[in-house]
């Protein structure tokens, strides 16, 4: 639902009656001329094919590990599973049942694995007939052919929400809407923070951002608003290095680290100081001025769903351990956001992301964490891009600061 002239938008709510019929409902959050849109991303046959294809194989992504020994190096194939009779290097996390393997290079120990890169394998588990369902013309088809504008008028009934946004609240769907480009929550009293309030909020805070590049966008956004936050050079290279922002005077530290396998990128990235999110959480002592933001999912889309579920359960257990030693630490889960509609649907399409979105809601539903529903937000903003623009990132961060201050 949108009003472009007002820079306003909100997602609708779909109820599936499991008999081929659905109820779509919209809440009229603002007055003015409103238009509705309802896209059929995939028909049920397409969704079934994607689900089957996803869970059929681990080989849609090729991992290449770089082993380094002094001045010599060698690349070998790696992966979450490897079908090979050759000798393998095993990188196992028994507690969380995580595993990664590489073909063992000759004349180098397994400990010499230092860098990783990936590329897409030319493989598909869809038949030609199924593939035809994902032709550009058949993805995201508008269902409301004769879209009329609705004129919404004020009904003089405004419900003021008094309760401040805080961790433990569960956002409904939709959990908010955009108006004049600002995100307005519907379930708590959210304050739009200016630079002075943001500075006050961040004073004395240790903030750990654990996840993918949609969270790395946050650490690039912060210094644009808070000029005293400066990047500290940790002598690492590439965009997937650990990023650290410091304001020594205000005792503020913000750190971003990428999550561990599966991490998908053509760029060579370092495996030094690289670990699974549960292990990263276990290293943090936590206190009332510590906040952790977690997001993962985009890199898991090309792999069977059990990998994602296992990781989400591992993260949940790590948060439970953190709350035992430090119940005042603030933990925020940022869901995946929607991305480009016409990309490789089998590997990276939003169907997989939506399954993740539902799983995350279920696994974290009764934990005392804050939720930033980036899925809902990016539908409302209409941003079909894996890296949403700055105004969306700014509103995600505003929601985060409302949770921690």
**Beta-strand pair 230-231/243-247:** antiparallel
Q: 109 burial class (0-12, 13-18, 19+ CB within 10 angstroms)?
A: exposed
Predicted pLDDT of residue 155: 84
Does residue 148 carry a pLDDT above 80? no
Predicted pLDDT of residue 144: 86
- How far from chain centre, in Å, is Cα 78? 24
What the block records as the tokens of 88 is 């393998």
Q: 31 burial class (0-12, 13-18, 19+ CB within 10 angstroms)?
A: middle
CA angle 149, 151, 157 (to 5 degrees): 140
What pLDDT band is residue 375 in, cutting at 50, 70 and 90? Answer: very high
Predicted pLDDT of residue 168: 95
Query: Could you give all domains of the chain from N- to C-terminal order, each with its CATH number?
Result: 2-47+130-152 (no CATH), 61-120 (no CATH), 176-404 (3.40.50.1110)
Predicted pLDDT of residue 20: 86
pLDDT digits 0-9 by tens, 227-251: 999 999 999 888 999 999 999 999 9
pTM for the predicted model, two decimal places:
0.95
What pLDDT band is residue 67 in, cutting at 50, 70 and 90? Answer: very high
Does residue 160 carry a pLDDT above 80? no
pLDDT digits 0-9 by tens, 179-232: 999 999 999 999 999 999 999 999 999 999 999 999 999 999 999 999 999 999
Does residue 44 carry a pLDDT above 80? yes
Average pLDDT value for the chain: 95
Predicted pLDDT of residue 157: 73
Does residue 156 carry a pLDDT above 80? no
Predicted pLDDT of residue 179: 97
CA within 13 Å, CB half, 353: 26
The average pLDDT across 65-84 equals 95
Cis, peptide link before residue 262, omega less than 30° from 0: yes
The β-bridge partners of 294 are 210, 333
């Amino acid at each position: 639902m949108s009003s472009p002239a007002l820079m306003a938008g909100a997602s609708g709510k779909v109820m599936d009656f499991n008999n081929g019929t659905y109820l779509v409902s919209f809440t009229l959050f603002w007055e003015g001329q409103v238009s509705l849109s309802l896209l059929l991303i995939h028909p049920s046959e397409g969704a079934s094919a994607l689900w089957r294809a996803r869970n059929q194989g681990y080989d849609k992504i090729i991992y290449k590990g770089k082993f380094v020994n002094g001045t010599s190096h060698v690349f070998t194939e790696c992966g979450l599973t490897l079908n090979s009779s050759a000798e393998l290097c095993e990188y196992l996390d028994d507690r969380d049942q995580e595993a990664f393997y590489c073909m063992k290079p000759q004349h180098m120990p397994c400990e010499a694995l230092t860098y990783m890169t990936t590329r897409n394998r030319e493989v598909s588990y869809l038949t030609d007939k199924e593939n035809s369902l994902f032709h550009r013309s058949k993805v995201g088809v508008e269902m409301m052919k004769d879209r009329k504008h609705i004129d919404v008028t004020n009904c003089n009934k405004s419900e003021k929400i008094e309760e401040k946004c805080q961790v433990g609240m569960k956002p409904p769907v939709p959990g908010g809407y955009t108006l004049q480009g600002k995100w307005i929550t519907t379930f708590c009293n959210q304050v739009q923070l200016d630079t002075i309030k943001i500075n006050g909020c961040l004073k004395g805070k240790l903030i750990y951002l654990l996840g993918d590049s949609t969270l790395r966008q946050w650490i690039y956004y912060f210094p644009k608003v808070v000029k005293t936050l400066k990047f500290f050079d940790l002598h690492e290279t590439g965009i997937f290095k650990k990023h650290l922002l410091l304001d020594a005077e205000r005792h503020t530290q913000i750190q971003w680290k990428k999550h561990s396998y599966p991490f998908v990128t053509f760029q060579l990235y370092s495996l030094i100081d690289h670990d699974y999110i549960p292990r990263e959480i276990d290293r943090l002592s936590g206190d009332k001025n510590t906040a952790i933001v977690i997001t993962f999912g985009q890199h898991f889309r090309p792999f069977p769903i059990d990998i994602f579920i296992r990781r989400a359960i591992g993260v949940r257990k790590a948060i439970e351990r953190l709350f035992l030693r430090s119940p005042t630490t603030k933990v925020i889960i940022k869901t995946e956001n929607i991305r480009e509609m016409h990309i490789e649907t089998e590997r990276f399409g939003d169907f997989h992301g939506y399954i993740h979105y539902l799983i995350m809601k279920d696994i974290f539903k009764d934990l005392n964490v804050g939720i930033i529903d980036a899925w809902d937000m990016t539908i409302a903003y209409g941003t079909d891009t894996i890296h949403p623009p700055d105004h969306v990132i700014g509103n995600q961060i505003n929601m985060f600061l409302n949770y921690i201050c």
